[in-house]
Amino acid sequence: MNTTNILNELNILYIFENDILDDDYYKKIKSNVSKFFATNETSEILDIYKEMKPDIIITEINEEIIKSLEEIRNQDFYQPIVVLTEKFEKDYMLKSFELGLNNYILKPVDEENLFIKIESVARKWLVRKKNIQKRVILQSILDNQSGLTILTDFKSISFASKSFLSFYNITSIDGFFTLYDEFLHMFSINEKYISGQTKDEFLEKYKNSKAINKVVLLLGKNFQPKAFHINIDKIKSYKEDDLYLISMTNISIMQEQNIEISYKAYIDNLTGIYNRNKFEEVYNYEYLKFTRVGIKFCIAILDIDHFKKFNDTFGHLIGDEILKIMAKTVNENTRKIDTFARWGGEEFVLLMPATNIDGAKNLCENLRAKIEKIVHPIASKITCSFGITQINESDSLDSLFKRCDEALYNAKANGRNRVEIN
């Protein structure tokens, strides 16, 4: 870009202190710029400045003009200002430097020197103007994103979308760091979500996560946890630290829907415990572990004693109550690693991972004793019989259940309210 093209883009506000405008300077500058306005009315300088929004102010200097320039500096610290002066007084020069004036030109000056000075200021101004335009464009793009979008080096935040500020109920990026001491603290620590103590740790977890698992947990303005799918793009930066464009899409509603679907798929409607679908899924997982690394497990079938009699005598509503009471008692007294499910009717199944047959029998004896203590207000005492078996190398689910059924039959035949193994 040559000098003429640079000057042709400029809007210049020229402030002079005398009653008569210096025609030579006026003509030299006006003929080479896009827009030019001159004034010596100090009372009008601020109004003209606000209306004109000049790219560069070229000004002579006195006490009244300095006051106006101070006001302009308060409004725009980066406004380019060039001083034309014949004054060598120390106070004026110091005041000029305090105002951060971009350049000064001592009168008289020749035309070439004048425009070299103006061009130097103009080049810096153009760089800044283009950077501002880029920031405005970027901010506009971010603000039109439906999700939360930020530009960060994982220490500070360069840009943030309106949706990001709104999520945290803040008005500026500075407000974010009143909520969190460090950038990474915004990501809640949870084993199901990506988080990290350092940038490298966070990015490594992100990199190694499958697309469906690239999810973070944030606490918004109401301190309610919300799940967001996160996307991170590294972008070029002139800074020493890399910059990353992070986009986060709220998937909390989707997760809630998935949880609801999963609940319906895996939970028994009557008792609220797992159903057959969930049990078979866990069995397949445990069976795979057994075939790969030899970790054995046990399965038990539980059957409520004389359940048909309860239904025939007291009706199906009482029968349903008994099923729910028994299921709740067992569910509250099993280990976290166990899977307890309703198989159908009055029959329940219990899968006990990493457990041998003796351990399984002890666990089921404890459950049997807990159930025996249940007294229904109408149906009275409730008991259960248990049939247990342990996985073998040649087993399938059908063969396991066959042995469990045989053990359960023996428990019934031997007087019920018993635990038998096979």
- Token code pair at residue 295: 């970790």
Side-chain half-sphere CA neighbours of 119 within 13 A: 13
Pairing mode of beta strands 215-219, 225-235: antiparallel
Any idea which residue has 């059957």 for tokens? Answer: 303
Closest by Cα among 314, 299, 275 to 386? 299
The 3-class SS string of the chain reads CCHHHHHHCCEEEEECCCCCCCHHHHHHHHCCCCEEEEECCHHHHHHHHHHHCCCEEEECCCHHHHHHHHHHHHHCCCCCEEEEECCCCHHHHHHHHHCCCCEEEECCCCHHHHHHHHHHHHHHHHHHHHHHHHHHHHHHHHHCCCCEEEEECCCCEEEECHHHHHHCCCCCHHHHHHHCCCHHHHCCCCCCCCCCCCHHHHHHHHHHCCHHHCEEEEECCCCCEEEEEEEEEEECCCCCCCEEEEEEEECHHHHHHHHHHHHHHHECCCCCCECHHHHHHHHHHHHHHHHHHCCCEEEEEEEECCHHHHHHHHCHHHHHHHHHHHHHHHHHCCCCCCEEEEEECCEEEEEEECCCHHHHHHHHHHHHHHHHCCEECCCEECCEEEEEEECCCCCCHHHHHHHHHHHHHHHHHCCCCCEEEC
* E-only strand ranges, 101-220: 103-106, 148-152, 157-160, 215-219
Asked if 346 is an active-site residue, the reply is yes
Closest by Cα among 212, 243, 226, 256 to 164? 226
d(CA 306, CA 322): 11
Task: Name the active-site residue from 60, 119, 286, 346.
Answer: 346
Write out the catalytic residue numbers. Answer: 346
